Amino acid sequence: MSISVLDLFTVGIGPSSSHTVGPMRAARGFVGRLQEQGLLEGVAGVRAELFGSLGATGHGHGSVGAVVMGLAGEEPHLVDPVAAAPLVQRVRQEGRLRLAGRHDIAFRTDDVVLHRRRRLPFHPNGMLFTAVDANGDQLLRRESYSVGGGFVLDEDETGTRTLVPDTTPVAHPFSTGAELLEITRRTGLRVSDVVLANELSWRTEAQVRAELLRVWAVMQECVAHGLGSTGVLPGGLRVRRRAAALHARLLAEADEQDPLRAMEWVTLYALAVNEENAAGGRVVTAPTNGAAGILPAVLHYQQTHRAGAGEDDVVRFLLTAGAVGMVIKAGASISGAEVGCQGEVGSACSMAAAGLAEVLGGTPDQVENAAEIGLEHNLGLTCDPIGGLVQIPCIERNAVGAVKAVTAARMAVRGDGAHHVSLDKAVRTMRQTGADMSDKYKETARGGLALNLVEC
């Protein structure tokens, strides 16, 4: 199986890759299958059932609206975040939905059912879609699973654990950190060079570069929008946006002699992105929406606080971060519903640390060490969002994770790459810890802070 770095870094809308982007893709895929089989015009009703973590926190994560948009034919990377809420509200008021944007049916938002205490066997984020005709007879029934980072598996793909069972041959196949390091030692290539060589199986080098720079442009736009937005985030907790005020304060102080000032900018960038995500804005899954602020924050730090940083650094950073994301996805999970927040913030921290170590001139061993440090010190991190909203503790957790990634990278490049715990051992430990973790700490809002801070 092969995976492209551009499968990890995709454009979508907040607040959650697994609970918003994934359900939208799954719903659109179901409608697409109806079209392929010539069944769309005969559909009189559709029912969508969400299970496990999706059912438990679907309201807070906007899962119902995401399903409605997907059934209407919208795609996460193309949908206008501003137009999304009115579309869902119109369906709620009129009780009608235009499937795939072309076939009108009776539909209520109650037809998206959230099962708070039931789950499907394969994964905590399970979905069941059913279409019926005017007589109530079933036309199509399909299961789908949102497995983290916006990746969706159809019921026919549940043995692969990848978005598509892609068998494209690549120049340097790897699924572990050890395999990646062995390739770099045998070829003399940097980590980013290895990933780039593999990407050429799908795209030209110019296309890879252009797509990664487009990802970076969306990250920059997200930061800029977050820095310019004020007010209260939706959802009922009345969490105030802080990025704009912090930005104004940093600009006003302008104390370049403060040795900790750079870390305040890292914190600011992460807050800006995750406030945008919580507001349902456009973000890059990196590798998830809940952890979307860490890579942009660290990459902004790299691009603005290192003399001579340019577009080549952006490309190398993202290629290297993608390599680590592939290793984690293959060996464990990037889904908070499956392994807790160690799979989201932990993975993003590890990826960002590796990317930064690469552009700081780190050897492949130092890059792997940076990734391991970033992941090791997030092991056991629970996912306990208050009210099922990607706000508390998620927004601040991204800021802390970004600073931790910078620390991990700089620690690694100051050393010689030798270390006791390998990235593979950290990934294995994350998988085992996730298996041992109680479900109440896996994005269900039934434990931790979600119980100890009463919703307002």
If we measure between CA atoms, which residue out of 389, 335, 442 comes closest to residue 59? 389
C-alpha distances in Å from residue 78, one per residue of 73, 156, 221, 290: 11, 26, 15, 20
Half-sphere exposure (Cβ direction) of 295: Cα atoms closer than 13 Å: 38
Q: How far apart are CA 109 and CA 93, in angstroms?
A: 9
Confidence of residue 454 (pLDDT cuts 50, 70, 90): low
Question: How confident is the model at residue 409, as a pLDDT?
Answer: 98
Angle between helices 261-278 and 243-253 (to 10 degrees): 160
More confident residue, 393 or 83: 393
pLDDT digits (tens, 9 = 90+) for 203-234: 999 999 999 999 999 999 999 999 999 999 99
- 3-state secondary structure at position 268: helix
Class of domain 12-154: alpha beta
Q: Is the pLDDT of residue 162 over 70?
A: no
Confidence of residue 159 (pLDDT cuts 50, 70, 90): low
Domain spans in the chain, listed from the N-terminal domain onward = 12-154, 177-452
pLDDT digits (tens, 9 = 90+) for 237-255: 999 999 999 999 999 987 7
Question: How confident is the model at residue 456, as a pLDDT?
Answer: 44
Q: Is the dihedral of CA 294, 221, 75, 59 positive or negative?
A: positive
Q: What is the DSSP string of 318-359?
A: HHHHHHHHHHHHHHS---HHHH-GGGTHHHHHHHHHHHHHHH
Q: How far apart are CA 55 and CA 236, in angstroms?
A: 19
Question: How confident is the model at residue 161, as a pLDDT?
Answer: 43
Q: Percentage of residues in the chain with pLDDT exceeding 90?
A: 80
Q: How far apart are CA 157 and CA 227, in angstroms?
A: 40
Q: Which of 3-7, 55-59, 210-214, 443-447 has the highest mean pLDDT?
A: 210-214
Question: How confident is the model at residue 286, as a pLDDT?
Answer: 95
Q: Is the pLDDT of residue 275 over 80?
A: yes
pLDDT digits (tens, 9 = 90+) for 326-355: 999 999 999 998 999 999 999 999 999 999
Average pLDDT over residues 290-318: 95
pLDDT digits (tens, 9 = 90+) for 66-116: 999 999 999 998 888 888 889 999 999 999 999 999 999 999 999 999 998
Amino acid in position 261: R
pLDDT digits (tens, 9 = 90+) for 168-204: 899 999 999 999 999 999 999 999 999 999 999 999 9
Q: What is the DSSP string of 90-143?
A: HHHHH-EEEETTTEEEE--GGGEEE-SS---SS-SSEEEEEEE-TTS-EEEEEE
More confident residue, 109 or 59: 109
Q: Is the pLDDT of residue 363 over 70?
A: yes
Question: CB of 387 within 8 A of CB of 450?
Answer: yes
Residue 429 CB partners (closer than 8 Å, separation 6+): 376, 379
Confidence of residue 158 (pLDDT cuts 50, 70, 90): low
Residue 304 CB partners (closer than 8 Å, separation 6+): 265
The mean pLDDT of the chain is 93
Residue 70 CB partners (closer than 8 Å, separation 6+): 23, 24, 25, 26, 27, 28, 29, 30, 31
Q: How far apart are CA 109 and CA 83, in angstroms?
A: 17
∠ Cα 51 19 32 (to 5°): 85
Q: Is the pLDDT of residue 453 over 80?
A: no
C-alpha distances in Å from residue 98, one per residue of 91, 94, 101, 102, 164: 9, 11, 5, 6, 28
Q: Taking the model in full, what pTM does it have? A: 0.90
Cis check for the bond before 393: say yes or no (omega within 30 of 0).
yes
Q: Is the pLDDT of residue 6 over 90?
A: yes
